[in-house]
Structure 1
């Protein structure tokens, strides 16, 4: 995904209900959390 707009369009097209956010913290450990799409 290259833009926020394209992400929103894809979520609507696929009827997504949740978004999973993944990132690496300052210690190098993968973290994630899920958010409902409002």
Structure 2
């Protein structure tokens, strides 16, 4: 887990819908990075 993700999780304090949205965004960015070979 990145420092940014930990910070966001602390900031949300159990707001599950926002956590889901963040997880989807972070997963998408990982997939994009993989497809570009980064």
User: Which TM bucket (shorter chain)?
Assistant: 0.3 to 0.5
TM-score (norm 2): 0.34
TM-score of the aligned structures, taking structure 1 as reference length: 0.34
Q: More helix by proportion, 1 or 2?
A: 2
Q: Which has the higher contact order (CA 8 A, sep 6+)?
A: 1
